[in-house]
């Protein structure tokens, strides 16, 4: 049996990841604002011994100019993630919660306070998915005249994360005495301002909540662009990524792990978790029938809307659905990591427009696997054992139906093979992921200062 264990997260997208999931009878049609639905999903993931549940988020609606296509979108109304996870923390005991928050459109002090609060409420089960936000339709909500360029967004993100970590360290771990007899509530010597002044932020601190139970909520990053890889190598403890072939996934895995040494980090300090969207049947025929049923629910205008963002400026409504999409040199310039995955896939497979949007409908360019519990476990095992993944971000096509299928059918198969846990190992998300709890930087500085003082004293005596 393998000593190294798979890490599994459930990537929750309201009715499911398939673009037509909201029309499927196995979905909860109003799930975006149905707390009972999310409680059920979180408890199902916990029953399956998942490490975490994750929701992606953008601080705005992704606008589609075609009114017909826009009216058919099933994802325009949904909860803010930190608020949602705070509610779900009281309905679960073990599962971790990954909430997306933007370093471009949020404030570091307020974000640090929110996630510290979530970590306390959940008793050490919070994680922050660090994003710079790629949506061009968001900036108008925050008083900007335009969306910042990627290079500027990532430069700001590095400083943002440093500020937030500093704020989480405002109180040292043993600052709070709460000694009723002496009347001492906390030790003021163990409360620290960060007094940060940088290119983007001026933040004095301290944070007005004690240090999170995990030290820092787990830092997650999603993105595979060049600046995204550097941000992950420098700061992330888990990275969500999208690949559709073993060779691509292996190349990314080795690249991202290889970047960590220059930041003083070891490869095992970052978990690589590609997305996988499994369509599961007890037989191959049942799985293919499930997939065909989902694909049959896609309206062409919605499918073309999914494609449009990868061909900016093009009127995709005029394309022949049964011909390949156009490729031209300008399309290769300045594309982001998701565009790269999608365009590479479309060219490699020779997809027509219809075939491409049908593929994207499943999981927006993530790995879609259709098969039995055994064949799906085979592919998961192959990636896990061949330096392509430390685990997976499971993206159920339909919720709650598809997550139930994975927990009931695939998890037992992975356990039978010795690849996945049979019980939670720890109490916090960090413990279950096998990640170390970070030391408080002010405590470390004090100890280093004391060590240096002792060294000087010894030298003087000598």
Least confident range from 109-113, 192-196, 332-336: namely 332-336
Q: In a 3-state reduction of DSSP, which class is residue 426?
A: coil
Q: Is pLDDT at 45 greater than 60 in this prediction?
A: yes
pTM of the model: 0.87
Nearest to 100 by CA among 65, 138, 140, 70: 138
Q: Is pLDDT at 2 greater than 50 in this prediction?
A: no
126-184: pLDDT as tens digits: 999 999 987 777 888 888 888 888 889 999 999 999 999 999 999 999 999 999 999 99
Residue 89 in any domain: the answer is yes
What is the C-alpha separation between 178 and 391, in angstroms, rounded?
41
For tokens 């997939």, the residue is 291
For tokens 């895995």, the residue is 253
What is the C-alpha separation between 155 and 173, in angstroms, rounded?
30
What is the C-alpha separation between 3 and 419, in angstroms, rounded?
8
Q: What is the mean pLDDT of residues 54-66?
A: 73
Q: In a 3-state reduction of DSSP, which class is residue 208?
A: coil
Residue 458 in any domain: the answer is no
Burial (Cβ within 10 Å: 0-12, 13-18, ≥19) of residue 130: buried
Q: What is the mean pLDDT of residues 24-32?
A: 80
**Containing structural domain, residue 142:** 7-295+364-446
Instruction: Specify the pLDDT at position 454.
Output: 47
Q: Parallel, antiparallel, or unpaired: how do β-strands 196-197 and 176-179 relate?
A: unpaired
Q: Is pLDDT at 461 greater than 50 in this prediction?
A: no
Residue 353 in any domain: the answer is no
Residue 310 in any domain: the answer is no
Instruction: Specify the pLDDT at position 458.
Output: 45
Q: Is pLDDT at 94 greater than 90 in this prediction?
A: yes
369-419: pLDDT as tens digits: 999 999 999 999 999 999 999 999 999 999 999 999 999 999 999 999 999
Q: Is pLDDT at 455 greater than 90 in this prediction?
A: no
Q: Parallel, antiparallel, or unpaired: how do β-strands 238-241 and 271-280 relate?
A: parallel
8 A C-beta contact, residue 302 and residue 72: yes
Instruction: Specify the pLDDT at position 261.
Output: 96
Rg of the chain over CA atoms, in angstroms? 23
8 A C-beta contact, residue 411 and residue 25: no
Q: What is the mean pLDDT of residues 46-73?
A: 78
Q: How many CA atoms lie within 13 A of 416 on its CB side?
A: 10
- What average pLDDT does the structure give for the chain? 89
Residue 308 in any domain: the answer is no
Q: What is the mean pLDDT of residues 277-306?
A: 91
Residue 393 in any domain: the answer is yes
Instruction: Specify the pLDDT at position 333.
Output: 55
What the block records as the tokens of 96 is 């971790």
Residue 324 in any domain: the answer is no
User: What are the b/e assignments for 312-323, b being 16+ CB within 10 Å?
Assistant: eeeebeebeeee
Instruction: Specify the pLDDT at position 337.
Output: 64
What is the C-alpha separation between 282 and 169, in angstroms, rounded?
50
Torsion angle defined by CA atoms of residues 151, 155, 156 and 162, in that order, rounded to the nearest 10 degrees: 160
Nearest to 242 by CA among 392, 122, 354: 392
Q: Is pLDDT at 330 greater than 90 in this prediction?
A: no
Q: Is pLDDT at 12 greater than 50 in this prediction?
A: yes
Residue 315 Cα to chain centre, angstroms: 32
Residue 421 in any domain: the answer is yes
Q: How many residues does the chain have?
A: 462
What is the C-alpha separation between 397 and 362, in angstroms, rounded?
7
What the block records as the tokens of 273 is 């978790």
Nearest to 128 by CA among 164, 89, 171: 164
192-245: pLDDT as tens digits: 999 999 999 999 999 999 999 999 999 999 877 888 899 899 999 999 998 989
**Any idea what the CATH number is for the domain that residue 193 is in?**
3.20.20.30
Q: How many domains, the chain?
A: 1
């Amino acid at each position: 049996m393998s000593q190294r264990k798979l890490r599994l997260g459930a990537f929750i997208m309201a009715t499911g990841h398939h673009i037509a999931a909201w029309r499927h009878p196995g979905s909860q049609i109003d799930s975006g604002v149905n707390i009972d639905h999310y409680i059920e999903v979180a408890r199902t993931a916990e029953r399956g011994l998942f490490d975490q549940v994750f929701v992606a988020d953008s601080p705005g609606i992704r606008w589609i100019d075609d009114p017909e296509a826009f009216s058919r979108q099933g994802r325009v109304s949904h909860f803010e993630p930190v608020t949602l996870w705070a509610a779900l923390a009281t309905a679960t005991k073990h599962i971790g919660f990954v909430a997306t928050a933007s370093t471009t459109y949020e404030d570091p002090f307020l974000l640090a306070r929110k996630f510290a609060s979530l970590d306390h409420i959940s008793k050490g089960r919070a994680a922050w998915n660090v994003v710079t936000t790629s949506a061009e339709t968001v900036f108008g909500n925050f008083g900007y005249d335009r969306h910042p360029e990627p290079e500027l967004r990532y430069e700001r993100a590095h400083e943002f994360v440093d500020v937030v970590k500093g704020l989480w360290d405002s109180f040292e771990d043993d600052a709070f005495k709460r000694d009723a007899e002496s009347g001492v509530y906390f030790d003021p010597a163990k409360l620290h301002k960060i007094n940060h002044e940088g290119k983007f932020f001026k933040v004095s601190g301290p944070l007005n909540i004690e240090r999170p139970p995990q030290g820092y909520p787990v830092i997650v990053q999603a993105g595979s662009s060049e600046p995204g890889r550097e941000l992950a190598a420098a700061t992330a403890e888990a990275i969500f990524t999208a690949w559709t072939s073993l060779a691509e996934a292996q190349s990314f895995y080795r690249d991202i792990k290889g970047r960590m040494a220059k930041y003083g980090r070891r490869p095992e300090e970052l978990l690589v978790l590609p997305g996988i969207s499994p369509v599961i049947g007890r037989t191959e025929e049942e799985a293919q029938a499930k997939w065909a049923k989902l694909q049959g629910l896609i309206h062409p205008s919605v499918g073309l809307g999914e494609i449009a963002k990868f061909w900016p400026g093009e009127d995709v409504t005029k394309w022949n659905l049964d011909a390949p999409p156009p490729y031209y040199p300008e399309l290769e310039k300045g594309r982001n990591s998701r565009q790269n995955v999608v365009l590479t896939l479309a060219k490699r497979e020779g997809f027509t427009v219809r075939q491409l949007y049908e593929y994207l409908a499943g999981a927006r360019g993530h790995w879609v696997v259709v098969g039995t519990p055994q064949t799906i476990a085979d592919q998961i095992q192959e990636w896990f054992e061949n330096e392509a993944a430390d685990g997976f971000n499971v993206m159920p096509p339909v919720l709650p139906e598809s997550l139930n299928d994975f927990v009931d059918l695939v998890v037992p198969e992975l356990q039978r093979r010795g690849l996945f846990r049979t019980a939670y190992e720890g109490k916090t998300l960090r413990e279950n992921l096998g990640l170390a709890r970070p030391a408080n930087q002010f405590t470390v500085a004090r100890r280093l200062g004391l060590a240096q003082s002792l060294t000087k004293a010894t030298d003087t005596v000598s």
